[in-house]
Structure 1
Amino acid sequence: MKKFSTLLLVSLLSGTVTLGAYKVLFDTNGYFSQQKNGTVTTAPDSYSKKIGLSADVLDFTEAADKTIHTVVHVKNVSRRTVSNPILEYFYGYKGGQSQEQVGTGSGVIISEDGYIVTNNHVIQGASEIQITLNNKKSYQAKLIGTDSKMDIALLKIDANEKLPYTVFANSDSVKVGEWVLAVGNPYNLTSTVTAGIVSAKARDLNTSGIQSFIQTDAAVNPGNSGGALVNTRGELIGINTMISSMTGSYVGYSFAVPSNIARKIIEDLMEFGNVQRGILGVEGGELNGIASKELGISQTQGFYINKVTKNSGAEKSGLTKGDVIIKLDDQSIATFADLSGYINTKRPNDKIQVTYIRNGSTKVVPVILSKNEFFSTEFKGIELENLDAADKKKFKIDYGVKIKSITSENLKQYDAELRGNIILSIDNVKATDIETVAKIINKKEENQTVRLEMINKNGEVIRVII
């Protein structure tokens, strides 16, 4: 009996020690606890199944198979005449030798009847455009229209069959970290698929046109331009357009025109023959800690309105200098690229809901977008406006801003010489249109001199400093 009691006591002590050790080491706040307070938290075993990296969850094969048949090879053939100055000088020879130049890129079929979207720079200057499908069939393409500002071009081929095509996704819904595929023809290698993630949205690269790229780390190289950036369902979220690289080859990041912007441009070209641009009618810049401190406001994100254009939708809706735009419709606005990217998906007379902060209070107001041609701005006492079709045709140019009037007393004496001139660049930066000029102006100090290159009314290029 005594031996049994001793054995029972040892058993109880062992159980107590075991239970105590478990409480100390493994229970809620134990040393090896998954939820230990104040230290690194260990993820549960099931966590790895939630991040989408298992072979069962992450499968690009279906998206790749859908997309490669809709991405085409674009061949740009241009011809130029090369003269021989020695023969011309000594023998009066006026002839020249015709040389053929070939450039290549990619394109995406967007309809079964043969409409194709690509980059404007892929087909720029082409005398002939040849399209080769993934099944090796080739066709001559007709250029429907281009938008050099957004680097988008629309082509059309006449095939004797219904073609596979890519559907557009809503690029506003794309999330940073989302898996994407880039499909194109780098270095003339057809049907090349690379994978990566969305690295950033609304990326502003300070180009003269689009300021709202999708950034990805999917490998994109020369020849990929105009190709497809698709999600894991094979839906189009962007048109690959450029590489950030010192060498011209992929080194980490590439950029795509968001599908919402591309789709709007394509629809405009199909319906109107040109791009219809809506203008909010505000000038200013994005906020950050330093800018907010200088302005004396608490908001550090959003678009600060420094000026409202006369007779614009913004002015008619009561927006004023000092307001901070934080949302357009349901799209949050933290940067200038957010604002310009969303406006670029809209047309004149579209109505949008603008959420803004004024004196600490959040307000919402409807704004009807103005037409781009009516947008003007003032710079150093010079009122500028966008070019119309007649000016572009007369001077054989496709960019620039026109001097509408002179309001500066210092420049009044030159009114006759300046009025009607077309400014091509400001400090060697292309004056593409009023939007671009407004952005350049916002970076200049009031007393800072600038160099202007312009065409006068006689078609002569002149340069002045003001």
Structure 2
Amino acid sequence: MPNLTHFAAAPLRNLGPALLVLAAACLAAASPATARSAPESFADLVEPLIDTVVNVQTSVTRSARPDGPGLGDVLPEGIPDELEELFREFLERRGAPDEAPAPRRRDNALGSGFIVDAEGYIVTNNHVIDGADEISVRLTDNTILPATLVGTDPATDLALLKVETDRQLPATRWGDSDALRIGDWVVAIGNPFGLGGTVTAGIVSARGREIGGRYDDYLQTDAAINRGNSGGPMFNIDGEVVGINTAIFSPTGGSIGIGFAVPSAIARSVIDSLREHGEVRRGWLGVRIQTVTPELAEGLRLGTARGALVATVTPGGPAAESGIEDGDVIVEFDGRLVEEMSELPRMVAATAIGKSVPVKVVRRGEERTVQVELGQLDEAQFAAAVPGRAQPGPEREDLSGLGLGLAELTEELRQEYGLTEELAGVLVTEVKPDSPAAERGLREGDVIIEVNQNPVGNPSEVAGEFEATREDGRNTATLLISRGGERQWVPLRVGNSE
């Protein structure tokens, strides 16, 4: 997995805001497939679109040292905040006079955007305008208009601006990114390195790329995207916006033919919500989920690895009210198959708040469908605690074949391991090196809450569930564990245990 680094907007002297830059990776060459021939020219397509794309200009006020260069002049662009703070403290220790206030200087930066409404609504990336004191927009005729920020959505890196003008502005049309196929032609227009009105063309290289965000579903393209293209549109061959150019994969910051765009299927609903509410309002299911691995699929009797495994159901949330339980595997949401865990958050977020949707789950090997009325997402809901079950009584057991030492929770053990009174289950007191338990990442201090979706309150119950797994002819048991306040499912092979 390459390292992800998010750079701040670059000053004008560096020609454009930096994009999200990923470290280089080696990619295997693939044999070319038969493709449609390139259009004879993109000129007729591009001509009416050029005027819909704008340059977004921002200015940021920064401190500068009175006795020498400012911090921004001596630090490399894109340095992490932690290192910047260390450098700042170092320079201050070198003797900045307290009585001399640091002067302020203004840095300018450039990005791209596009008009989505003739009344002056403009879409760009959040990272283009993040932290800006002033924002303005330059049209293709060099008219510069001050812009106000309507709203931002850091989760998808989108922002909506508004300019006031007495004329009707040329506007783009949204297209259907879901209709794009790998190999389809796309055109990007933007402001790379401050060179406005730049057109590049390429194909959709891949779909569904994830680069670290909760709602990632990026389109990948080989159309050249560089610094300053951030926030610019990606058009299909019908001249419709199917993506917002946001990031590149590059060892140098320049284009190597791997760029990423937020698909219009996500962007359109975000922009509509920003325009209507000034914020993004997303649907909320009220579950914490994890990936279903092949080992977990075996233990959960799924047949194949699919869906999203519910690690925790938030008390009082929509899922809890509908009867969804810890250990359920969500395989279908509102009539759409959930093939991968990462698909579910996007489906839920894009669903209208208050809508009642059918959710199909697999529970102990059997499918069932429940109706869930979605709530509204609130970040605080992710921190909701889930009460457990407490069962007193000291008991210890050594499952040597699995490399596990277990103990029933007592008040003394809770204090020793920093566990809350509400947490119930069986404490892992030892994990032997090179054991099956160690191979699956179990640690001392973990608390086993369930085995095979059955609550356990003492080591004997854990051992009994392992034995039942073997008697059923299965090699893998599924453990719901609590670690540091977070829950997750862990597959553990028990076939060779004593």
Query: Which residue matches 1:175?
Result: 181
Partner-residue secondary structure (3-state), 1:177: coil
1:366 aligns with 2:348: no
Q: TM-score, normalised by structure 1?
A: 0.66
Alignment RMSD (CA, Å): 3.5
The answer (yes or no) to whether the contact 2:314–2:384 under 8 Å persists in 1 is: no
Structure 2 partner of 1:81: 63
Report the residue type matching 2:251 in the other structure.
M
> Structure 2 counterpart of 1:258, which letter?
P
Deviation at 1:445, TM superposition (A): 5.4
Larger Rg: 1
Matching residue within 185, 195, 205 for 2:211: 205
Contact kept in structure 2, 1:284 and 1:307, CA below 8 Å? yes
Structure 1, unaligned stretches of length 5 or more? 1-46, 383-407, 416-442, 450-464
- For 2:37, the equivalent position in structure 1 comes to 53
Counterpart residue number, 2:109: 103
Cα 1:291–1:205 shift into 2, 3 Å: farther
- Check the 8 A contact 1:186/1:220 in 2, yes or no: yes
Q: Does 1:341 align with 2:323?
A: no
Give the SS at the match of 2:64: strand
Change (3 A) 1:188 1:254: same
Q: 1:327: how far off?
A: 3.3
1:386-412 deviations in Å (ceiling 9; x for gaps): xxxxxxxxxxxxxxxxxxxxxx95399
SS in 2 for 1:304: strand
What SS class does the counterpart of residue 206 from structure 2 fall into? Answer: strand
Q: Which moved further from structure 2: 259-268 or 162-171?
A: 259-268
The question of whether the paired residues in 1 share the 8 Å contact of 2:313 and 2:386 is answered with no
2:124 corresponds in structure 1 to 118
* DSSP-derived class of the 1:176 partner: coil
Q: Percent identity?
A: 34
Distance 1:231 1:138 in 2: 28
| Structure 2: distance between partners of 1:302 and 1:170 | 25
Distance of aligned partners of 1:68 and 1:355 in 2 relative to their CA distance in 1, 3 Å threshold: farther
Alignment correspondent of 1:244: 249
Q: Deviations over 1:199-255 (max 9, x none)?
A: 333322123x43222222222111111011121111112211111222222223211
Query: Which residues in structure 2 correspond to 1:248-259 (within 5 Å)?
Result: 248-259=253-264
The answer for unaligned runs of 5 or more in structure 2 is 1-32, 69-91, 389-412, 421-439, 447-483, 486-498
State the match for 1:64 in structure 2.
Answer: 46
CA distance in 2, matches of 1:381, 1:320: 13
Question: Whose RCO is larger (CA < 8 A, sep 6+)?
Answer: 2
Any idea what SS the aligned residue of 1:141 has?
Answer: strand
Does structure 2 conserve the Cα–Cα contact (< 8 Å) formed by 1:264 and 1:346?
no
Q: CA deviation at 1:124?
A: 1.1
Matched, 1:228 2:228: no
SS at match of 1:375: helix
Contact 2:123 2:231 in 1 (8 A): yes
**Structure 1 residues 253 and 337, CA gap change in structure 2 (3 angstroms):** farther
The 3 A distance-change label for structure 1 pair 319 and 409 is same
- Number of corresponding residues: 348
Rounded Cα–Cα distance in structure 2 between residues aligned with 1:444 and 1:129: 49
- Residue 161 to residue 199, structure 1, CA distance change in 2 (3 Å): same
Amino acid paired to 1:263: R
1:314 lines up with 2:319 in the alignment: yes
Maintained 8 Å contact 1:287/1:299:
no
* Kept in 2: contact 1:202–1:341 (CA 8 A): no
Structure that is richer in helix per residue: 1
Shift of 1:281: 1.8
> In 2, are the aligned partners of 1:286 and 1:303 still within 8 Å (CA)?
yes
Cα distance in structure 1, aligned partners of 2:51 and 2:416: 60
Task: Return 196-205 or 373-382, whichever deviates more.
Answer: 373-382
User: How much does 1:265 deviate?
Assistant: 2.1
TM-score (norm 2): 0.62
- Asked if structure 2 preserves the Cα contact closer than 8 Å seen for 1:62 and 1:234, the reply is no
Amino acid aligned to 1:241: T
Stretch deviating more after TM superposition (209-218 or 118-127): 209-218
Counterpart Cα distance in 1 of 2:43 and 2:102: 52
Per-residue deviation, 1:317: 2.7
